[in-house]
Amino acid sequence: MYFCARIKKSHKKNNTMASNRTFTMIKPDAVKNGHIGAILNQITAAGFKIVAMKYTKLSAGKAGEFYAVHSERPFYGELVGFMSSGPIVAAILEKDNAVEDFRTLIGATNPAEAAEGTIRANYATNIGENAVHGSDSNENAAIEGSFHFAGVEVFA
């Protein structure tokens, strides 16, 4: 079985080199609430180029693998249930300094703390159902992109 061995934030290497790719998902809450178009528009207006994209649905097993790094956290079951509850949009995005700039664009995990105008401030429901995912490191961006896309599905 393929395992999405993402690296825990606390275990990350101190990688200061900027990468030009990140990985995102528009989560089931934002899809259900009709925000796909608005979110993609905000992403491209901020200068990100979509190099891979698919409308898909995670099984509970796949959602569990993707979020395995959080398996010890109290919200893990809720997170896996939510992420497999409906369709998502998965995409690989390209821009200089992509990981950091995309995290700025989406805002804090908890939308109540997200800066005004960020995607989570605009479209998230709550800390769990927070509209979008954004990779937290260059290493995880590469791992997460490969989890969802084959090489032939990425168009640079």
Give catalytic residues, as residue numbers.
Answer: 133
Question: Shortest approach of ligand ADP to residue 106 CB, angstroms?
Answer: 7
In DSSP notation, 103-156 reads HHHH--SSGGGSPTTSHHHHH--SSSS-SEEE-SSHHHHHHHHHHH--GGG---
- Cα separation of 140 and 24, whole Å? 11
Which CB sits closer to ligand ADP, 6 or 95? 6
Question: Shortest approach of ligand ADP to residue 155 CB, angstroms?
Answer: 26
Q: Do 104 and 46 form a contact (C-beta atoms < 8 A)?
A: no
Footprint on this chain of ligand ADP (rule: CB under 6 A): 70, 75, 78-79, 109, 127-128, 130, 133, 136
Question: Shortest approach of ligand ADP to residue 8 CB, angstroms?
Answer: 9
Which CB sits closer to ligand ADP, 30 or 79? 79
**Tokens (6 digits) for 80:** 């896996």
Total length of the chain? 156
Which CB sits closer to ligand ADP, 77 or 155? 77
Question: Shortest approach of ligand ADP to residue 129 CB, angstroms?
Answer: 7
Distance of CA 75 to the CA centre of its chain: 17
Which CB sits closer to ligand ADP, 115 or 155? 115
- Cα separation of 8 and 19, whole Å? 18
